[in-house]
Amino acid sequence: MLITKECDYAIRIIRALSSGETENIPTICEKERITSANAYKIARKLEKSGYIKSFRGSAGGYALNCDLEQTTLYDIISVIDPKMLLIECMQTGYECPLHSHNTPCRVHREFSRIQSNLNKDLKKHSLAQILAE
């Protein structure tokens, strides 16, 4: 899994909203150096998943709708990239000719170990802890 630009931008949007204030997309884009087309698209995904909420009208915008003490990088990244896999062969149901129960692939086993450690590390600290450092 590469952490995509979209995942990076989602984390930046959360960071822009971490003060607790309602912010509009142009302000978020200026703070976090994100294009508005990307910001709107990502904000919709974050809103649909419940991490942010939107307000309409002239004073509208977006605000956090989650507790940063309980939210991790893993949570935000998984909204944008639900599979979060290092490599395609780790997908459920993927048929790899070099990896089977009888002849396990050592590379696959190593990628599985790395994936497990990465997931643990992404879940290790809350966004509140990360943003406070």
First-to-final CA distance of the chain: 25
80-113 burial: b if 16+ Cβ within 10 Å, else e: bbeebbeeebbeeeeeeeebeeeeeeeebeebee
Highest CATH level, class, for 5-132: mainly alpha
* Span 66-78, pLDDT tens digits: 999 999 999 999 9
Nearest to 22 by CA among 57, 67, 51, 64: 64
Question: If pLDDT is split at 50, 70 and 90, which confidence band does 53 have?
Answer: very high
- The yes-or-no verdict on residue 91 having pLDDT over 80 is no
Domain ranges of the chain: 5-132
Quote the tokens at residue 70: 């309980």
pTM of the predicted protein model: 0.85
Contact between 122 and 77 (Cβ < 8 Å): yes
User: Positive or negative, the Cα torsion across 118, 68, 45, 25?
Assistant: negative
Give the H or E element holding residue 62.
strand 61-64
- The yes-or-no verdict on residue 87 having pLDDT over 80 is no
